[in-house]
Amino acid sequence: MLLMSDHSIPYKIISGNDLRKRLAEVLPEAKSLTVISAYITKPAIDWLGQHVKPECSVLLIGRLVPNDFFVSASDMVAVRTALEKGWMVKCLSVLHAKIYLCDRSKMFIGSANLTTNGLKIYGHGNLEGCIEVSPVTDNIKFVEKIDMEAQPVTLETLEKMETFISAKSKNTNEIAVGGLWPEDILPREHSIWVCDFPWASLSAPENSFEQDLKHDAEVLGIDNLSDEIAVTTAFKGTKVFYWLLKKLEKSESREMYFGSLTAALHSDLRDDPAPYRCDVKILLSNLLAYCQKYAQDLVKIDRPNQSQRVTLIKTN
């Protein structure tokens, strides 16, 4: 199967195994490497370290949210190994892309994570699909935008993450939900995207698509949306709820109406192109529905006139 570029040049779809072989060809001479991968594991880091020269500048950007470590989609040892090699590591909680950029002259995109299964380092691995694309200006800018949005992870940050994961794992009475890292470990990202919001409609659950429910579970970092305790804990740690709290805190009356919140959200969303105003209203409606069900102790939502009013009761 072939894909066609704008210049009618065919791109062959290759497997994760073939991607690993192709990377093995280009990495030894690389002076710079950027790997964007939702998940990162130690065997893949070791493999990468065997193929890049010590002087190669390496940047790794992963999702690296708590739940990824709870379920072993990524592992702390991989991050520590990369940092000890002198590589730069960053995290972006909404990341799902898989991109390998070598010297700005070779770029590979597809479904293959920087993991054992993604690159078929050993064993059967996953069935992946990838292509080599031209690193034209727009493609480079796409990577640079991800780099700009991602947050640096240092060894000090990693040690705090390890302590947090260890404490959660040992406390069998505490639900190990994902969400975001506590503020004292990693300050929340200031950028906000459409994919940060819940997509399923709590007010009309019969109209929610399966993929919307799956998306919401991924955003919350949990497996079971029917577990109200888990959803409550996870929702209060999301970027979008944090965004709402901050907007209300900055309001002199500690309250805002639906129209004002819609305008603020439309302005703050980083998606390019920006979503239509009607779509922003749907995102905000979904967020407020989650607040009414899972955060009644922190915000109050009523309708004194024709528009919903959101009032801050206390901070999270």
pLDDT digits (tens, 9 = 90+) for 123-149: 788 899 999 998 899 899 899 988 988
Cα–Cα distance between 300 and 312 in angstroms, integer?
6
We report the CATH number of the domain holding residue 145 as 3.30.870.10
Average pLDDT over residues 103-120: 94
Q: Is residue 184 assigned to a domain?
A: no
Token pair belonging to 2:
């072939």
pLDDT at 168: 78
Q: Is residue 166 assigned to a domain?
A: no
Cα–Cα distance between 76 and 89 in angstroms, integer?
12
At residue 57, what is the residue type?
S
Assess whether 153 and 272 both reside in one domain.
no
Backbone angles phi, psi at 203, to 5 degrees: -75, -25
Domain count, the chain: 2
**Nearest of 71, 80, 74, 75 to residue 49 by alpha carbon:** 80
pLDDT at 217: 87
Assess whether 108 and 209 both reside in one domain.
no
Mean pLDDT of the chain: 88
Q: Is residue 176 assigned to a domain?
A: no
Assess whether 151 and 219 both reside in one domain.
no
How is the chain classified by DSSP, letter by letter? -EEE-TT--EEE-B-HHHHHHHHHHHGGG-SEEEEEES-B-HHHHHHHHHHS-TTSEEEEEE---HHHHHTTSS-HHHHHHHHHTT-EEEE-TT---EEEEETTTEEEEES--BSTTTTT-SSS-----EEEE---HHHHHHHHHHHHHSEEE-HHHHHHHHHHHHHHHH-TTS----S---TTTSPPPS-B-GGGS--S-SSSGGG--HHHHHHHHHHHT-S-TT-HHHHHHHHTTSHHHHHHHHHHHHSTTSEEEHHHHHHHHHHHB--SSPPPHHHHHHHHHHHHHHHHHH-TTTEEEE-SSSS-EEEE----
Cβ neighbours, 10 Å, residue 21: 13
Given 158, 174, 198, the domain boundary residue is: 158
Residue in the block written with tokens 């796409």: 142
Task: Kindly compute the dihedral angle of the four CA atoms of residues 260, 262, 267, 270, in this order, to the nearest 10 degrees.
Answer: 150
Assess whether 93 and 10 both reside in one domain.
yes
Assess whether 123 and 67 both reside in one domain.
yes
Cβ atoms of 44 and 121 within 8 Å: the answer is yes
Of residues 98 and 190, the one with the higher pLDDT is 98
Domain that holds residue 134: 2-158
Assess whether 150 and 241 both reside in one domain.
no
Assess whether 197 and 153 both reside in one domain.
no
Residue in the block written with tokens 């293959």: 112
Q: Is residue 241 assigned to a domain?
A: yes
Assess whether 144 and 73 both reside in one domain.
yes
Report pLDDT digits (tens) over 288-314: 999 999 999 999 999 998 899 999 997
Given 140, 158, 176, the domain boundary residue is: 158
Indicate the length of the chain as a whole number.
316
pLDDT at 189: 67
Q: Is residue 23 assigned to a domain?
A: yes
Q: Is residue 167 assigned to a domain?
A: no
Assess whether 154 and 196 both reside in one domain.
no
Assess whether 234 and 154 both reside in one domain.
no
Cβ atoms of 241 and 231 within 8 Å: the answer is no
Peptide bond into 273 cis (omega under 30): yes
Backbone angles phi, psi at 136, to 5 degrees: -70, 175
Assess whether 150 and 197 both reside in one domain.
no
Report pLDDT digits (tens) over 46-88: 999 999 999 999 999 999 988 889 889 999 999 999 999 999 9
Q: Is residue 213 assigned to a domain?
A: yes
Question: In percent, how much of the chain has pLDDT > 90?
Answer: 59
Q: Is residue 185 assigned to a domain?
A: no
**Nearest of 104, 113, 53, 43 to residue 78 by alpha carbon:** 43
pLDDT at 174: 47
Assess whether 238 and 146 both reside in one domain.
no
Token pair belonging to 84:
């000890």
| Least confident range of 64-73, 111-120, 206-215, 275-284 | 206-215
